[in-house]
Every structure is written in C-alpha cells, then in structure tokens.
Amino acid sequence: MLEAARAGRVLKVLQASGLGHDPRLEELSKLARIELVGPDRLDILAPGVHQGVAAELKPRRQWTLKELLATSPNLLIALDSIMDPQNLGAILRSAEVAGADGAILPEHRSAPLSPAAVKASSGATELLRIAHVSGMPSAIAEVKRSNIWCVALDPRGEALAWEFDMTQPVCLVVGSEGEGVHRLVKERCDVRVRLPVKGHIASLNASAAAAALLYEVMRQRHERL
C-alpha cells in the first residue's frame, strides 16, 4: 500500500479502529487521508487480506506492449501461463528487485493482479511497467523486432543460463510449473536456457527459477562494469 501511495494512486486509507502503532501508517498519513472504521467494515471490503488497513485506489496505468518497448528496456520478463497468484506476485517482486524495466502478461491463461498477487509482490506491481498482451507468441515476435533477445527458461534448453550473453537487452520468458513455456512461444524465442539440477527433484518452482535466472542477468552485468 505504501508503494501505491508513493505512486499517487491512493485516494483514501481505511484503518481499523484500535489498530496498534505502526510507523508505516505515519508515512501513509502524510500521503493520503486516513479514515478510522470498524474492523467489520474492512472484513466486508477486503475479506482475509486487509490486516487492519485497506485503501481506495485510482486505476492502475495500463501499458501497451508498444508503449513498454518505446521506453528502450534492457531487461523484461514475460510470464506464460503463470496461474498461481502467489507465484505471479513473487516473480514480479524478483523482477523489480533485479532491476527489470517491465513485465509482459497475457490477458488470458494468467493469474490476475488480484489482492493476493499484489500482496505477494511487496509493492512491485506499483513500480513495474506491466503490459498485458492478447497472445504471447505475437508479443515475443514484437519484442524481437525491438532488437531484444528473447530467452525462454526450459528444463531441456540447449544452453545453461550462464552460457548465454545476458548483458545485451533480453526478455526472459518463464512458464508455468506444469507445462513450462508453451511450444509456440519457445519456438519464437531466440534461445532456450536451463538451470542445472543436482538433486532428485526435477526442477525449482516457477518463482524460484525466475529469481535464479534474473540474478544470473545481474551477475553477468555486474561483472561487465
């Protein structure tokens, strides 16, 4: 909520009466009007997710892919069929921490930016440019036309993640835990990279794998400084 307030999206904060002292509320009070309400009202407005505070927000800016590409991004992440809101939020959080310039989400076959996803992102949804696209294969083709390398994360990829040059502009494409990146999307990508597995479990979950790949990008770029 603080990130939304800092971004100017909070119209009004609803705070449950009797809530203990929290320094975050002090900052919120400087950014938006706070109204004390009964806890039962918050239970109706935001069941199970409010922790004593809720907010009325302005609509989030809707980026188009064309607008996102016009910002000359160096690092994007595209999420193909991430259906779990916790995974979606966690990946967006890792992307923002790693310095990504934006994220690409499909309009269909994707978890929405629900309260659960927003909470799991720890504010990243307010900081990242997020573009929704009608189809991921056509979006990948458009990204490539902007001279950005599209790199699919695939357990059977032909290269290890550190064998590909991530210092150039890249769009990392991460798929669901069950199916991974869809076949047509993988075929549109320039390269498919894998993360090595030493144990008995076949793979990391989607959010952990995305974080590992994002940090490989950071590692390569740091070494080039």
Q: What is the pLDDT of residues 92-146, one digit of tens each?
A: 999 999 999 999 999 988 999 888 898 899 889 888 999 999 999 999 999 999 9
Top mean-pLDDT range of 1-10, 127-136, 172-181: 127-136
Q: Is the pLDDT of residue 5 over 90?
A: no
Whole-prediction pTM value?
0.80
Instruction: Please state which CATH number belongs to domain 65-223.
Output: 3.40.1280.10
Rg of the chain over all Cα atoms, to the nearest angstrom: 19
The mean pLDDT of the chain is 88
- Domain positions in the chain: 2-57, 65-223
Report the interhelical angle of 206-223 vs 85-97 (nearest 10°): 10
Structure tokens at 29: 């009070």
- Does residue 133 contact residue 114 with C-beta atoms inside 8 Å? no
Instruction: Using CB atoms within 10 Å of the CB of residue 158, give its burial: 0 to 12 exposed, 13 to 18 middle, 19+ buried.
Output: exposed
Check pLDDT > 90 for residue 63: yes
Q: For the residues 34-62, what does the mean pLDDT come to?
A: 72
Highest-scoring range by mean pLDDT, 8-22, 30-44, 102-116: 102-116
Q: pLDDT-derived band of residue 50, with 50, 70 and 90 as boundaries?
A: low
pLDDT: which is higher, 45 or 168: 168
Query: Which backbone phi and psi does 112 adopt, to 5 degrees?
Result: -75, 170
pLDDT for position 154: 94
The pLDDT, as a whole number, for residue 104 is: 98
Is the predicted pLDDT of residue 47 greater than 70, yes or no? no
Encode pLDDT of 187-208 as tens digits.
Answer: 999 999 999 988 878 778 999 9
- Residues written for the chain: 225
